[in-house]
Structure 1
Amino acid sequence: MPVIQPLGGPAPLLRAVLTLRRVVREEKIDVVHAHMSDSAILVALALAGTGIPFVVTHHSNRLLPKERWAKHLLRRISSAWALRRAAFNIGVTPNVADRLKEEFSLPSGSVIHIPNGVNIPPQEAVDAAQISRLESEAGVPWPRITTLGRLAPVKRQDIAIDAIHHLREALPHIQLRILGEGPLMQELAEQIELRQLSTFVDLAGPTDNVASALCDTDIYVSTSSYEGLPVAVLEAMSWCLPVVATEVPGHRDVIHNGVDGCLVPFDDPQALAQQILRLCRSSTERRELGSAARDRAVRDFSDKAMADSYCETYLAALERNTRGSRASRSFRGKFSILTPTGRTRRR
């Protein structure tokens, strides 16, 4: 998949618009797929007058960033202008889709819900991981807790660290592994040192092998203050892991509390610790939650289901468009993706 990065140099936004317009013309793109509202603005400007449809995926319950009122007003007006020109606005959760309709007064027919999907590991690999987890219960360290995500304020890994502080006497061999990198790396390292948890918490940095990390995990936790649709949680569920997550938007869209995972109050390390301890004391509950979690991931959040839904959406966008009603009969399957970083990908 070729990647073009038009931002940089003088007038980067104008450069991005002109570059995208050129790529769409030269590559004879049928549909453009933007991600988040800023990319939608660039796409709407680039496609003005071309008759080429575009769709926009929104990944967060926060549709616009927090900023000063004048800049926020300008962004809201320009975003509303762009989103109303999209063939479809796609929310990764029902809540995101509802917020789109409410905040931008978008017609119901132009707003749809397509959940993120993850690669579902084969059952044989999951079974092998389950056997490994059973064998690890007699060893040290146990239990092995993992959380994965950018080390940023929204992810609130500090809550997980404080929960381990509450658990270290009841579970003297507990191990928390924090995977990821970001601006809070030093702050979290200082918290671990202050709490004297260096033997209990591993600030492990990023990983290129998420599957291996999840195979070496007994319980997965997510402590975010909010989510769009949490891909890391879905990956953990697909590996048959019991998940404990904060009861916030995003997590609530994925986990049915007590059925295929556990939800705990946000910003409550003690509640998180109590739920982890409860799961550690019941291998039956861990297995049942993990099995139900995988069933839900397979049923509702596979990457194949997501890809099929997006292909249907691209075709529907062409059908809706006056130009697309003709182009859909000779659809070449070529589309362009514009991400919030300004990178254009052609397929």
Structure 2
Amino acid sequence: MESSSTSATSPEPPAGLLVVTDTSLSVTGGSEQFLRSLLRGLPRHRYAVTVVELASGAIVPMPSLPGIKVLRVPVAAVYGRSGLRAYQVLRRLLSSGRYDIVQSQHEKADVLNALLPKRRGVIHISNRRDMGFKKSNRLKHAFRLLNHRFDRVVAPARQILDALATHEHLPLCRATVIPNGVDTLRYRPREATWREARRRALGLGVDTVVFCCVARLTEVKCPLVLVDAFARLHAEYPDVRLLLAGDGPMADEVRRKVDASGLAGNIDLLGSIDAVDDLLPACDVAVLASSSEGMSNALLEAMACGLPVVATAVGGNLQLVKPGVNGVLVPAHDPAAFAEAMLSLARDAHRRHDLGQRARRIVEEEFSAARMIIAYDHLYRGLLGLA
């Protein structure tokens, strides 16, 4: 009787969560930031987490993730020798019986996850982070054949799932939207005295309207379009600055364009920075000129800091930016339209304030990190039959 009573009240063992990702958790990109936030927030008594990184290249310092085991298995090409080795590692981990969920994000990880043998009681989840702009037609065809291997496909925006349904024939009945979430205590508006001091430290004028873009300098983020738009804005409204926070393969090209435009005194290339929460509240407007987006953490963080947004009407931006409520949407690849939207906000401080307040409210109500973590916990438990 004693044994039966003890068994009935013993705590539920944690579920084993095996996360496979193409990139390193140390990378500062949005998808890595999402994953770090999720793994830090999941209840430790409910989940025992192992992360397998398929990233190749130099090893950089890992952010603090207490209680999480991280393995590095570099993969150059998923169909090559390194891909086979990674598959064998994952298969051995799965055969150990310690894992109840295998969750992958990005293409290599998804392919390996889909090809793993199905074991009774093990759930396979694909976490899609973008609109699939990197996928060739051949890879899209491959995923049409592989998508049925996933028990659930999760994405942060409905637009991503709609694209998967169109291009990869994904049945939406097995798809779930869980929006990205922001730490609303870390990313928040600051009081006037803090803001004034921070702007002085950044060399920003009291009345200067400061636009900020936090993004990697890559082709899909269209930094050259943004520089073009800012040049048009500056010609109409000179007391403006643009802060570009991010690094990437287009950094030299962007710098050359800034120098050639004669706007080096108005456009600051800050490179990759860690303390984005110490930059955004000192700015006035967040901008993003991408040609494709999943759900932008950069926009969510800016909104949480009380900034209105000017962004392109692509992907998950359509879910985040409500025109006339918290920002302005413009067509992609249209610097004239982008400049006009920036100008409308530069000229109207009252409108900037109102849009920024609503942006903060939207994040608190719909896109907090706490809501995201609860949603994933509920998904996992539901799929495992524990809800």
Give the TM-score taking structure 2 as reference length.
0.74
Distance between the aligned counterparts of 1:106 and 1:277, measured in 2?
A: 41
Structure 2 portions without partners, runs of 5+: 1-67
Task: Give deviations 1:299-319, integer Å, cap 9, x for gaps.
Answer: 111111111111111122223
Q: 1:63 to 1:143 in 2, by over 3 A?
A: closer
Q: CA deviation at 1:211?
A: 0.3
- Mapped pair 1:30 → 2:91: no
> Cα distance, 1:120 vs. partner?
1.2
Corresponding position: 1:315 with 2:385: no
Distance 2:209 2:330 in 1: 19
Aligned to 2:265: 199
Q: 2:192 and 2:186 mapped to 1: Cα distance? A: 11
Structure 1 residue 187 corresponds to structure 2 residue 253: yes
Structure 2 Cα separation of the partners of residues 144 and 196 of structure 1: 18
Secondary structure at the residue paired with 1:183?
Answer: coil
Alignment of 1:191-340 (within 5 A): 191-319=257-385, 328=386
Change (3 A) 1:127 1:202: closer
What's the counterpart of residue 39 of structure 1?
Answer: 109
Q: Matches of 2:332 and 2:257 in 1, distance apart? A: 19
> For 1:169-217, what per-residue CA distance to the aligned partner results, in whole angstroms no more than 9, with x for missing partners?
4433321111111110111111011111111111110001010110221
Match of 1:6 among 62, 66, 73: 73
Q: Secondary structure at the match of 1:41?
A: helix
| Structure 1 residue runs without a partner (length 5+) | 67-71, 320-327, 330-347
Distance 1:102 1:268, change over 3 A: closer
Q: 1:267 is aligned with what amino acid? A: H
Aligned-pair RMSD on alpha carbons?
2.6
Residue 218 of structure 1 and its aligned partner are, at CA, apart by 1.1
Deviation digits for residues 274-302 of structure 1 (CA, Å, limit 9, x no counterpart): 22222122221011100111111111111
C-alpha spacing 1:223/1:89, structure 2 compared with 1 (3 Å): same
1:20 corresponds in structure 2 to 90
Aligned residue runs from structure 1 range 90-109, under 5 A:
90-109=154-173
1:65, 1:104 → 2: CA distance?
Answer: 11
From 111, 117, 139, the counterpart of 2:175: 111
Q: 1:129 and 1:147, CA in 2 relative to 1: closer, same or farther beyond 3 A?
A: farther
Distance in structure 2 (CA, Å) of the matches to 1:55 and 1:200: 45
Q: Could you tell me how far 1:134 is from its partner in structure 2?
A: 11
Equivalenced residue count is 314
Contact 1:17 1:42 in 2 (8 A): yes
Q: Is 1:86 the equivalent of 2:150?
A: yes
- For the pair 1:128 / 2:195, whether they are aligned, the reply is no
Q: Is the 8 A contact 1:57 1:90 kept in 2?
A: yes
Q: CA deviation at 1:98?
A: 2.0
Q: Which shifted more, 288-297 or 171-180?
A: 171-180
| AA at the equivalent of 2:183 | N
Q: What letter is aligned with 2:126?
A: V
Relative to structure 1, the CA distance from residue 77 to residue 175 in structure 2 (aligned partners, 3 Å threshold; closer, same or farther) is: closer
Letter of the structure 2 residue corresponding to residue 259 of structure 1:
V
TM-aligned CA distance change 1:158 to 1:129, over 3 Å: farther
Over 3 Å counting, the alpha-carbon distance change for 1:169 and 1:100 in structure 2 is closer
Q: In the TM superposition, what is the alpha-carbon distance from 1:58 to its structure 2 partner?
A: 1.0
Tell me how far 1:63 sits from its aligned partner.
6.5
Per the TM alignment, residue 271 of structure 1 is displaced from its structure 2 partner at its CA by 2.2
Q: Please give the secondary structure, in 2, of the residue aligned with 1:126.
A: coil
Counterpart Cα distance in 2 of 1:283 and 1:97: 37
How far the C-alpha of 1:43 sits from its partner, in A, is 1.1
Identity of aligned residues (%): 28
- Could you say which structure has the greater relative contact order, defined with CA pairs below 8 angstroms and 6 or more residues apart? 1
**TM-score of the superposed pair, with normalisation by structure 1:** 0.82
- Are 2:196 and 2:206, in contact at CA under 8 Å, matched by a contact in 1? no
**Other-structure match for 2:25:** none
